[in-house]
Structure 1
Amino acid sequence: MRHFDTWVLRDPYSIWHYYPTGHRWRDTVRDLIHSRAICSPENPSSSTPINPSMHTQSQSPLLQLPAELRQMIWSYVLTNDSTPTTLNPQTLHLVQLKGKIRHVRCPSQLNSSNHSNPPNPALTQNRHCCPTTPARWRIYDGRVPGHSDRLLYPHTHEHLPSSLSDSNVNLLRVCRRIHTEAEHILYQASRFDVDDLYTFIAFSESLSPNARGSIRRLTVQWMPIWIPMEGLDHKGSVYGHTHSDELWVRFWESVSKLGGLTELGLSLDLGRFTSVGSGVSGQRIPFGMGEGWVGPLLRVRGLTDFDLAVTARCDLEARGVVESELVKEVGELRDGLREFLCRPREVLDERVGKRQKRARLAITA
């Protein structure tokens, strides 16, 4: 069978009577193959296309428009807004569904008069704006209607398939010229919101270098099952494939490779806190620049804005205790991370295992 396939690839006309499966071609197809009317290369000496009714890109009326108008058209088709980058960036919730990376366009709009420094609407919403998009391990009691705890997929809401965005990205498949002109618009004009680490890693690895470098905004919704980088990995846990030290490091390495990233938001969802006797029970995570889970974040550079939010569900008695413990620590960590992450990308630091670049002397004779 190997030699038969090779024969077909070398000369498809030598056995024009049959399919590779042994079935006979239709008579009309056999005639076309026999006359070499199909699968025939274009004559290099001829400057006219095979089909006279087809037009080249230089004859397309759409591509004859000025570049500014074409950019407005691409923006409107891909983002439903002619100027989404500066006024109203759309929020795209990345989800993993049946092994594929999809997204849900958030319906909530940004209503702010301060367009020079718009807030991040996805930082503290925890995807409550789109209840079908949170990962299943972020559902607290496991009995929320629509979610399933029997599957290992991160996003399992039964209504999620009907909520997926129908963004018209087919425009990028028209021709190479349109793809080159419009590819960066979709990523520059969007704020990507992710609550599963592997989902974003797979998403970033599937992008071209140009698209990866066009991402400007990213929001990370993270619920620590256990504290990263503390040696608490549980190999036998069902969360082992979504919460591990290796995955935590890989995620921030992927974020550090986004050369155009300027806005980063990190939202830590600590879950539920309840008052028990004279104390409070709940998942606590240490906040400090020297903590092990903070180290991988320091690989990111070149930001213009960084924000940190910590959310938790507390009863009335536990709320005051949790707020008194977290407000000061979270504020100090946010300021420290801003100082590091907003440095230029050329400046490296020894705290992340790299040396700073030094100017070398030019020695001449």
Structure 2
Amino acid sequence: MRASSVAVSLICGPIVCAYVAFAACFCPSRLHRGSESEEKRRFERRQKMAPRPLPVRPPQRSLTLPAPSTTTDIEKGDGVGGKAVDKTRKTLDQSRSRLMRLPLELRQMIYRAAIGDSTMHMILKEQKLGHLRCKAPSAVECPLGFNGRTLSRECCWGTVDSANIWAPLSGSNEPTDGNIVPLLRTCRQIYSESINLLYSTNTFSFSDLDCLRYFSCTVLPHRFALLQTLDLEWCMSWPIYDPIAQQLLLNNPALYPPNDEATWEETWRIIADMPNLRFIRVSLLYFDGFRDPTCEEKMLAPLRRVTRPSRFEVHVSWQGDEVRGAPFQLIRPVSRDASSSSNSSSSSSSSSSSSSSDDSEWDG
């Protein structure tokens, strides 16, 4: 079978190369019109659906305690000192609530049981982000699939379209708040006491580089800094960090975001600046692997800047050499030859141990 495939490659290879050269010289638009327009449309739709960065929030809209001042400067008013009292903003006393009578430690245990210790899948929606609580016990046990374009978890949060925008299974009105918003909206005191637990105790799972980048600029910086556990899955584009392969694509640009090198490096710059990150697990899918080890070294170079996590795992889908001196543990798939050799060595060791035991019994 292998000899026949090699023979077919030798025969068809020159024909394919001649066709590519002819198309590139005489009709280049026909060579890459479809792929280029498809990637460009996908990129433009993602840009159109991108969420807006977090605006500068005025002090009056603060949700956490202590409550903001209820006075505002006015040019004309009956208030003392030219100030008028805004009676629409009030913080009510919650001392009569049975929940508020409990010690703060017990209240935080209740908050954590309600909105913490879960895996939150972050998804791209139309001009905003969503988060869905994982239905599996952990992100590792949540089935990860490939829809032909990117990675997805259809069993957990539905499907995505060609631009990786979330497409719910039960209609567009399906909520994506993880059932945590009602508790946070109860009152300002509950929000103040529980909001930090939302970011510090949950595992945030991303299957899109842009989703992580948008998340970092759509939440308050001090909230984003509370993240401790991160799970990232990404299907890498074929010619990333491979200039020779990118030239063969005959596209300009060769790679559109988020499949380009700039987005990849920006993502890891954001992760490297996260001050409280303790554990990060990365799963990279790349069909056929890299053409040479130099391309892989360039791809892994941004990951070397992430030194804060005490545990950093990088799972890849291709074979290669061992990586030394890195702040992460690179885990490659076990080859069949290695598994068969390990099985044969274990069987030989067991047989030698049995023969030695037989010899010892015989000598006895």
1:121 match: secondary structure = coil
For residue 188 of structure 1, report the CA deviation from its aligned partner: 2.1
**Residue 259 of structure 2 is aligned with which of 243, 246, 265?**
243
Q: How many Å separate the matches in 2 of 1:55 and 1:177?
A: 9
Work out the CA distance in 2 between the residues paired with 1:240 and 1:76. Answer: 41
Question: Do the aligned partners of 1:194 and 1:219 also contact (CA within 8 Å) in 2?
Answer: yes
Number of the residue aligned with 1:108: 136
**Match for residue 198 of structure 1?**
210
Q: Provide the C-alpha distance between the structure 2 equivalents of 1:108 and 1:301, rounded to a whole number of angstroms.
A: 29
Higher helix share: 2
Distance 2:96 2:168 in 1: 47
The CA distance in 2 between the partners of 1:285 and 1:175, in whole Å, is 56
1:11 to 1:179, Cα distance in 2 relative to 1, 3 A: same
Unpaired runs of 5+ residues, structure 1, are 1-8, 14-39, 44-48, 85-89, 111-119, 140-144, 272-281, 312-321, 341-365
Question: What whole-Å deviation, never above 9, does each CA across 1:339-360 have from its counterpart, x for those lacking one?
Answer: 89xxxxxxxxxxxxxxxxxxxx
Can you give the 5+ residue segments of structure 2 that lack an aligned partner in the other structure?
A: 1-73, 79-83, 153-157, 331-364
In 2: Cα distance, 1:147 partner to 1:200 partner: 17
Q: For 2:307, which of 281, 301, 310 is the aligned residue? A: 301
Amino acid at match of 1:307: E
Tell me the secondary structure at the aligned position of residue 333 of structure 1.
coil
CA RMSD between the two structures: 3.9
Relative to the length of structure 1, the TM-score reads 0.55
Identity of aligned residues (%): 22
Matches for 1:1-365 after TM superposition, within 5 Å = 41=85, 55-58=92-95, 60-79=97-116, 84=117, 90-110=118-138, 121=140, 127-128=144-145, 136-138=149-151, 148-149=161-162, 153-159=163-169, 161=172, 162=174, 164-231=176-243, 232=246, 235-236=252-253, 240-271=256-287, 282-284=288-290, 286=292, 291-311=297-317, 326=319, 329=321, 332-333=322-323, 336-338=326-328
* d(CA) in 1 for partners of 2:188, 2:235: 41
Measured in 1, the distance between the counterparts of 2:220 and 2:285 equals: 31
Shift of 1:165: 4.9
Give CA-to-partner distance per residue, 1:145-202, whole Å, 9 cap, x none: 96543xxx32344527548454222333444443332112112221111111111111
For 2:303 and 2:102, locate their aligned partners in 1 and report how far apart those are by CA, in whole Å. 44
SS at match of 1:267: strand
